[in-house]
Amino acid sequence: MRGARPSGTTSWSAIIPPPCGASSRGSRPKTGKKNKARPDSANRLPGHYRSREENHVTSQSMRLMIPGPVDAEDEILAAMAEPTRPHYGKEWMEVYADVVGSLQEIFQTRADLFVMPGPGTAGLEAALGSMMRTGEKVLVPRNGFFGHRLGTVAEGYGLEVCRVDAPQGHPLDPQAIRDALRQKPDIQALAVVHLETSTGVLNPLPEITAVARELEVPIIVDAVSSMGGVPVPVDELGIDVCVTVANKCLASTPGVAPISVGERAWRQIEARPDRAHGWYLNLDTWKHYVTHWGHWHPYPTTMPTNVIVALQASLRRILDGGLEAHYERHRGAARRVRSVLGRLGFELLTPEAHTSPLLTALYGLPGMDVEDLRRYLVDEWQILIAGGLEDLSGKILRVGHIGKAASSDYVEHLLDGVEAYLRLKGYKVPGREPLR
């Protein structure tokens, strides 16, 4: 679900819901004078700005400005296109060791780290299913779609999910988490989403991990959308299991979920004589292969070597340029988008103090059909941004600032497209401040 990229070379606007009649579906309540579209827009096909014959947009020309996956740099795609390598042998082990070491540098950890084939959800299932036994309690704080889904994943393993909720668009409350853990001392783990991409909220991870350390509760962190985009110092924060993916802030292609496992997590996994859930997604299986086959095959399956070589190229690019510079690219893109769109009248869903530099979630202008804007950007400007999920569907826009979407080229192209749409619909568009 997180940023699934559609296939095919026909109109990309087919993935965006068509407008429902003439209503401004899901936008904020209308205020003031109604803005009318120019007459020529009425001649377009419903749900499209170009017909299939007119639209030559392909997956190669579309600019992804969603929360993931990202558009990877050409050198990373070139690395992925190299001939497939075997997933064992001296040469390959040098590649794999380099990738693991680079990931440990970005995670800021000396803990064990595995590069697990699969999406971020596979890593989260591995964490929950390995550390917990059926019937045990896990606390899952929620303030958006992915917090809710993390609880659903836990329930899929037969866990008893305890919840503490925060209002949508607001951060999790560390004190509420502390109170919930004290009320139920038999809770075996805390599982938390760092960046809630449904709203753009960056949850206060240092304060939340401090609660986990204070009450000696192991913590699993879903850093799928944040690791590599903002600092997540795993060892300093005392994170027991941390999960991310290659295809978001690590700016590579989909296919693997890096996961770090600390000493306290291993103690909990090994404390029970009975085995936890599964085999492939069981962290104990991965540790077994590191222990017994570590010199040539430290994993229980065939590895997607092309994906890992691409990740190696991306990690080298990030580390050679410096982590702080990598973080600043995201911050700079977010500042520019919010500054210009704010001047145009778009409002943030999440208070600025709590919103992530990796994603901007915005309400449309009064009377605006935000899905129509998304269709226009796809068909006329070859830009894909995300819409809202669940009850926010049709109500907000979500712009990613990761991968190539953090570049000034992508950002200025997006802003040009939004301004063109507003002019088309009759909105007043003030002059844009020059890029500095």
Domains and CATH numbers, the chain: 12-72+322-424 (3.90.1150.10), 74-319 (3.40.640.10)
- Cα torsion 414, 417, 421, 423: sign: positive
Of 209, 139, 270, 210, give the one whose Cα is nearest residue 223. 209
Strand partners, 333: none
Task: Note whether 340 and 354 are within 8 A (CB).
Answer: no
Contact (CB, 8 A) for 400 and 197: no
CA 429/CA 436 separation, integer angstroms: 20
pLDDT of residue 274: 78
Instruction: Output Rg (C-alpha) for the chain, integer angstroms.
Output: 23
Please, what's the largest Cα pairwise distance for the chain? Answer: 72
Q: Is the pLDDT of residue 48 over 70?
A: no
> Which pTM was predicted?
0.89
- The tens digit of pLDDT for each residue in 270-297 reads 987 677 799 999 999 999 999 999 999 9
Q: Are 242 and 208 in contact (CB under 8 A)?
A: no
Q: Going along 279-402, which residue ranges are E strands?
A: 347-348, 359-363, 383-387, 396-400
Per residue in 49-95, pLDDT tens?
664 445 444 555 899 999 999 999 999 999 999 999 999 999 999 99
Q: What is the mean pLDDT of the chain?
A: 90
